[in-house]
Amino acid sequence: MVFVNYLEKSLEFKIIYYGPGLSGKTTNLDYIYSKLPEATRGPFTTIPTQSERTLFFDFMPMGLGKINDYDVKLSLYTVPGQVFYSASRKLILKGVDGVIFVADSQSDRLDANIESIRDLKENLLDYKIDFANLAYILQLNKRDLATALPVPVLIKELQQKGEPVIDAVASQGVGVFKTLKMTVKFVLQKVKSLKGE
């Protein structure tokens, strides 16, 4: 759900990077944060878990314009991917406006990707969030690895509702901003359609 700050005249959208452990969620956020002007970004906050980190930061994107005279602000989060952090993932999903599913392209991670998508859908149901109407992008990360499955195979196994699919090598920044920009575009379209604009 969009958070409205009437005092600052801003709309805050929550976008979550979801996916199995070590798929590249944190790498996406690290790259984005490193490329943003300091004036547009908030502090990078880390919530450590036993074997992975949950990360988030806010930033005011340049060039997005305004919605009804309100500035647009994004909050980007990652979730811990390990199975035993299901409660944490569910909590972070509360109030989500858009999800970027970061899939690990390696052949031995296919089952982990499928399980993580199932987990995402179950957690969304608990919040009564309609997956069919959620701004959702599938990012196929680690495309540079020799063990990466062919894109058509991954699309067949992982694409859920005809959502856009973006190839990425997050460690090199490939596809990172393209994924984010497309997700933001979808989120804004959905908000504007709800407002009848």
Query: pLDDT tens for residues 164-179?
Result: 999 999 999 999 999 9
Please give the structure tokens belonging to residue 84.
């035993």
Task: Tell how strand 135-141 and strand 98-104 pair up.
Answer: parallel
- Domain residue spans of the chain: 3-194
Residues 6+ apart with CB under 8 A from 125: 131
Q: What is the pTM of this model?
A: 0.90
Which residues have a Cβ under 8 Å from the Cβ of 137 and sit 6 or more positions away? 98, 99, 100, 101, 163, 164, 165, 166, 179, 182, 183, 186
| Whole-number percent of the chain with pLDDT over 90 | 54
DSSP code for 70: E
pLDDT of residue 58: 55
CB atoms within 10 A of CB 145: 13
Rounded to whole angstroms, the Cα distance separating 166 from 149 reads 14
Percent of the chain clearing pLDDT 70 (strictly above): 84
pLDDT of residue 85: 65
Mean pLDDT over 40-61 rounds to 66
Q: Which CATH architecture is the domain 3-194 placed in?
A: 3-Layer(aba) Sandwich (3.40)
Structure tokens at 93: 């999903």
Q: pLDDT tens across 122-131, in order?
A: 999 999 999 9
CB atoms within 10 A of CB 67: 16
Task: Name which of 24-38, 45-59, 81-95, 156-170 the model is least confident about.
Answer: 45-59
Given a cut of 90, whether residue 153 has pLDDT beyond it is yes
